[in-house]
A and B are shown apart, each in its own frame.
Chain A
Amino acid sequence: MEDEFFGEKCFQYYCAEFIKHSQQIGDGWEWKTAKDCSDGYMCKTEFQIKNGTTPSHLGTPASVHTGFPTEENLELPVDDSEVMESAAASKVIKYEYHVLYSCSYQVPVLYFRASFLDGKPLSLTDIWEGVHECYKTRLLQGPWDTITQQEHPILGQPFFVLHPCKTNEFMTAVLKHPQKINRNVNYITSWLSIMGPVVGLNLPLSYAKATSQDE
């Protein structure tokens, strides 16, 4: 494709730089290639602890309610002692984050899946409810435009995805200033530091320092 703002080669370059630093600090990111072609993606698995069965603070805006799944996942306590336990109990959730390149939008896209230790996957409602408070308002304005389940372009399996259609908009704004002062920026580091926290993925600060050290 001609006139690429952020082409696939660019994507692969910045991912490689990102992974170099990840290896230095043991942050667990790896590059995976798809069979039969040169496509690849970055991925990382991590375990997070969620506090047990706290009630949802989402409120009841009509548009959100109609979208929420009605089946599954509610753990109903059998008796009072179990209520006490589940209120205090935490659950370990396994998150798998994948960073892929979208040729259509010419931006990176964040895919992820999450399951409990017994293998049971989290539902879309679980994911929406797990979004950090400071992003909740934005999510509630249009949950179906923000995080949904989609088919992973390379693996063909169900993953959750953070919709990429606005990425170009905010990344242009993010990159404007450093470009003016000729400062090196790793696109992937900047992008992931913005998108990641929405879905529980936080980047250690040393990534930012790693980029400036290259100058």
Chain B
Amino acid sequence: MTDDKDVLRDVWFGRIPTCFTLYQDEITEREAEPYYLLLPRVSYLTLVTDKVKKHFQKALRQEDVSEIWFEYEGTPLKWHYPIGLLFDLLASSSALPWNITVHFKSFPEKDLLHCPSKDAVEAHFMSCMKEADALKHKSQVINEMQKKDHKQLWMGLQNDRFDQFWAINRKLMEYPPEENGFRYIPFRIYQKLGLSTLYYPGTMQTKVGLELRERDLPASESGLCSTFQHYES
């Protein structure tokens, strides 16, 4: 892993220039200027947009302040997908900055998970890490870690601290020297079919080389886009 340090750093520090604009039908008491922000690709929307929320809430009436949600060209943005994934799936062929619309009304219950607090993001992130380790190490490595190690993983992500994060994550990326690799490599393929996005959790048999499991991927109309969540695998 030390040889890959440069790659790991480049992935971690990847940013997407974004312009947030308030949805035109939101009722405002005062003008709401667009808000510009560089979003970390490896993080989650609801984790890094506190300033965006504060900025637009100032323009609303107190009684209209409700759960924030984001949309791009009519598609509600799933905050539980990493930011880089959302961009690659939906907006990579458009010119920068990425233009995201901010909403406070009419939360799309059928499309989006609620995000009542940072605890929800932490729970989701840790749940992904645990599932990945179930495939890599039968959960042995992550379960043997102390609570404070789990916290450190999360804090590393939340505070954009590469070294803090990788101090723990490197243990999840190791395997015994007698094995040739992980039991299974966890990855997800996200495929754009029209307006909806589906994912197929997959595994690869490391011992017999690259061999996707029996699940057949349907032919895609708009091309296959695979995103390797580097910090999961």
Interface residues of A (CB under 8 A from B): 1, 36-37, 39, 66-72, 103-105, 121, 123-125, 144-145, 148-151, 153, 156-158, 163, 165
Contact = CB atoms under 8 A, between A and B. Distances in A.
Contact of B201 (A71, A125, A144, A153): A153
A72 B115 CA distance: 13
26 contacts: A1-B213, A36-B218, A37-B215, A66-B117, A68-B117, A69-B114, A69-B117, A71-B66, A71-B67, A104-B134, A104-B186, A104-B201, A124-B120, A144-B122, A148-B120, A148-B127, A149-B113, A149-B114, A150-B113, A150-B127, A151-B113, A153-B201, A156-B198, A158-B113, A165-B130, A165-B134
Contacts of B10: none
A103 B112 contact: no
Contacts of B111: 157-158
Interface of B: 66-67, 78, 80, 109-114, 116-117, 119-120, 122-124, 127, 130-131, 134-135, 139, 184, 186, 196-198, 201, 203, 213, 215-216, 218
B127 A158 contact: no
Contact of A123 (B80, B114, B117, B131): B114
Nearest to B114: A149
A36 B216 CA distance: 8
A165 B134 CA distance: 9
Contacts of A145: 123
Contacts of A148: 120, 123-124, 127
Nearest to B142: A165
Most buried by B among A36, A71, A149: A149
A24 to B, nearest CB: 33
A151 B203 CA distance: 19
B187 to A, nearest CB: 12
A121 B109 contact: yes
Q: Which 8 A-B pairs have the closest CB atoms?
A: A69-B116, A144-B123, A67-B119, A104-B134, A104-B131, A149-B113, A36-B218, A158-B113
Given A103-B201, A157-B110, A165-B139, A71 B130 contact: no
